[in-house]
Amino acid sequence: TSASTSATTPTANLNNLVAQASSWCTSFGILMGARELDTRQPLGDLIVEPAPFSLFPTEFPQSSFETAYELGKPFNALVHNVCSQQDWLLDEAIVNAAQGDPDFTGRLVSLARDVEAKGRAQNLVLGLLRSDYMLHKPDGTGDVTGILQVELNTIASSFGCLSTKISKMHKALHGEVDTNLPPNSADEGIAKGIATAYQEYQKQYPDSKNVAVVMVVQPGETNSIDQRDLEFVLKTKYGVPVVRKTLAELAKCQYRANNSELLLDGDSGLVAGVVYYRAGYTPDDYPSDTEWKGRSTVEHSSAIKCPDVFYHLFGAKKVQQELTRPGILAKFSTEATLLESCFAKLYALDDENYEDVINMALKDPHLFVLKPQREGGGNNLYDDDLVKALRTITKEERGAYIIMQKIQPPSTTGVLIRRGKIVYNGDVVCELGVFGISLRDYSSSENIAMDEVVGHILRTKSVQTDEGGVAAGYAFLSSPKLV
């Protein structure tokens, strides 16, 4: 059965396929921590269930898929070029967002300035970037005009491993009929990036014997399977040890006496060679100053960060909007025209013409999204909520928000599964994320240890849903069927 005919599949066959696919998820570990259905509270560490998924692969135009991959390396380079020129990033692009959001964006900017003042202890930085796109079909009429970028994630870009497995599941169940299912090796590529950084660190510190990768995690993480998968690939394929730490635990770590090497507290002489964040992207991850101390301790160490605080700040919505100002992108990219082709219309609320922008959005709220400086899903404001926020927003708060054109994706049909049951059968839209890996050097733009586009993730949701995060409970994992 192909995705395009999912609506016509007989019910008995459909139920059989649901059982088969859900079992495939269980057998091959497409799993997430189970939650209470009503309260969404995690049930416990190793109580797991299949991740929400799409029964069929989702149709996606081949030309748009290829464009998304083509954009990968230019974005890898853009992120590094902007972060290498910190004056623009800190003093121009993000300054108003830091004032409007002092407890989170503001503290990240303070940390970045602190690193600037004291000097970097490590010039290499690992970017594990995921650029998310949606197809755009203006006003629901005419043809799809291509893809527009939703956002570029620079911290804790997740689901690389589970997405790779979803691609394999769809191939196993539908591959005889749907032949145009592109290969996906996001898991191997992400592991290669972290392993390459680990090897670079060993070259820098040949006398350090017990070097490990630190994965920074949230206490009570429900997406640990996707993380553990990566840990097991690193161990089995590259012999790289991984230890999991929370920000609070990292606050207890010390530096080696004669340099900035980060010694892991209570881990018998282990040194952090690479620190890979799967937490730290939301204010909820910093309930006290202890967590900020943990972040700062890592930032001033010689560990290779993924990301460092500059790459983290690049991912702010405000930076995304500032890069769309005329003439700005060309300062940082030799491929500005290609990159601009995927930019949606983005508007600042801290300009002198902010009243015009607000009035434009109030006149047609269904055409816009109000975005704060937040990651992780569930934060954007639409329709009535957008109107209410724009009517009450203060001058100080305005810098912490941007307004974005609402992308209008075309719909296709889909069957969405949660806990072995069909929870939705109807029109769906999708979002394609492409993983780029970049290992670059602040002290030498020529020194590029890795620059690759390694795989993708496709998330599908019902046409009624505005938000898009799988971990946040809005979206279902799928894979593209190229048409």
In angstroms, the CA 25 to CA 2 distance is: 19
Residue 419 bears catalytic tag: no
> What is the per-residue DSSP string for 24-62?
HHHHHT-EEE-B-TTT--B--TT-EEEPPEESS-EEE-H
C-alpha–C-alpha distance, residues 34 and 19, integer Å: 18
Q: Is 371 a catalytic residue?
A: yes
- Cβ–Cβ < 8 Å for 414, 478: yes
Q: Provide the b/e sequence for 156-187 (b: ≥16 CB within 10 Å).
A: bbbbbbbbbbbbbbbbebbeeebeebbebbbb
Residue with tokens 């609402």: 406
One of 107, 120, 278, 317 is an active-site residue; which one? 317
Specify whether the CB–CB gap between 15 and 8 falls below 8 A.
no
- Which segments of 242-384 are extended strands (E)? 242-245, 254-255, 262-263, 271-277, 304-306, 346-348, 368-372
Q: Which of 29, 146, 376, 420 is catalytic?
A: 376
- Is there a catalytic annotation at residue 388? no
Of the residues 107, 130, 137, 278, which is catalytic?
A: 130
Query: Which of these is catalytic: 22, 54, 76, 153?
Result: 153
204-207, long-range: CB < 8 A, 24+ apart: 204/302, 205/261, 205/271, 205/273, 205/302
Short-list 404, 320, 411, 410, CA closest to 367: 404
Catalytic, 153? Answer: yes
- Catalytic (active site) residue 376: yes
Q: Which residue of the set 165, 295, 459, 461 is catalytic?
A: 459
Among 59, 249, 375, 431, the one annotated catalytic: 375
Catalytic residue (choose from 151, 261, 291, 299): 151
Q: Is the peptide bond before 307 cis (omega within 30 degrees of 0)?
A: yes
Task: Give the DSSP H or E segment for 99.
Answer: helix 95-100
440 catalytic per annotation? no
User: How far is 90 from 110, CA to CA, in rounded Å?
Assistant: 9
Which of 165, 192, 278, 371 is labelled catalytic?
A: 371
Q: Pick the catalytic residue: 54, 96, 158, 224?
A: 158
130 is annotated as an active-site residue: yes
Catalytic center residues: 130, 151, 153, 158, 317, 371, 375-376, 459
